[in-house]
Amino acid sequence: MSFLEIREISHTYFTPQDATTALEDISFDVKEGEFISFLGPSGCGKTTLLSIIAGLFKPTAGEILIQGQPQKSKKQITGYMLQQDYLFPWKTIEENILLGLKILKQLTAKKQQQTIKLLHDIGLKGVEKQLPSQLSGGMRQRAALVRTLAVDPKLLLLDEPFSALDFQTKLKLEDLVFQTLKSFGKTAVLVTHDIGEAIAMSDRIILFSANPGRIHQILNVPDELRSLNPFEARNHPLYSQLFQQLWKEFEKFETQNEY
Ligand SMILES: Nc1ncnc2c1ncn2[C@@H]1O[C@H](COP(=O)(O)OP(=O)(O)OP(=O)(O)O)[C@@H](O)[C@H]1O
């Protein structure tokens, strides 16, 4: 059984003035432990689909199944990592990363210990009593990842979590997030504008076209790249090949005025 099933999803936004069809007839499955990227031109509906998967609103048509169940009954199994870290500025890093467990009334001594260990494992030892403002952007995103993983979500929804970071930090964090999610066996969906990031991190790439958002192509990333971490993958000859292939598809969108 697939972990996530997207079944014939269409979505139209209605405003008093007009109607915009953001997604049309989207169907695909995601296996447990798989890392999927949504890639495509601006306005092709990537964020709309991620929000529907998160259960933030219902699509106009179609359904989402998570572990074979309608998505609405499974809200708590999804965790998020967004462009902004959304750490509470007045709380210490330790308070921030334990907050989800506290809210869910799952904060045991063991879970606290495991969460602090994860903070240390991803290179943030000694920042427990600091405020988010005392940390760099990359450090805050790492703390945000720990906060997300603390409540043990089965599905991670990543909406451009690296796009506000400088290039070196972004590459390091891609590696760290990739390795952490793989080591916990998490299923992940990443929304990105970055062709290289999609190739380096994913098992499969769902390429969307716009107006309305449709699946243009689904690409399986070759095993030779999938067995590497993102930084190594960027240096493999197959990476350039796939990059050029995807770049050509983006050029087609431009000539079709879909970009
Ligand atoms: N709340 C809304 N009301 C009306 N139209 C919307 C709303 N949100 C998104 N849209 C429209 O739906 C389409 C898809 O938007 P969406 O943000 O999902 O695309 P995207 O691929 O994530 O874009 P980007 O890459 O620029 O972030 C666009 O035409 C957008 O203008």
Helix or strand holding residue 215 (H, E): strand 214-220
CA of 168 to the centre of ligand 1 (A): 29
> Is the per-residue pLDDT at 258 higher than 50?
no
> Is the per-residue pLDDT at 62 higher than 60?
yes
pLDDT the model gives residue 133: 95
Choosing from 10, 18, 20, 53 the residue with most ligand 1 atoms within 8 A of its CB, the one to mutate for a pocket test is 20
Q: What angle do CA 21, 25, 26 make, to 5 degrees?
A: 105
Which residues form the pocket of ligand 1, taking CB atoms under 6 Å from any ligand atom? 13, 15, 20, 22, 42-48, 193, 213
CA of 66 to the centre of ligand 1 (A): 24
Q: What is the DSSP string of 73-84?
A: GGGGGEEEEESS
- Give the pLDDT band (50/70/90) at residue 243: very high
ipTM: 0.97
CA of 189 to the centre of ligand 1 (A): 18
Contact yes or no for 45/210 (Cβ under 8 A): yes
Minimal CA–CA distance to 189: which of 87, 46, 61, 62? 46
pLDDT the model gives residue 75: 56
pLDDT the model gives residue 24: 96
Provide the pairing of β-strand 19-30 with 4-14: antiparallel
CA of 167 to the centre of ligand 1 (A): 26
Average pLDDT of 222-250? 94
> 138: how many CB neighbours lie within 10 A of its CB?
19
Average pLDDT of 133-161? 91
Over residues 71-88, the pLDDT tens digits come to 765 556 788 888 888 899
> Is the per-residue pLDDT at 203 higher than 70?
yes
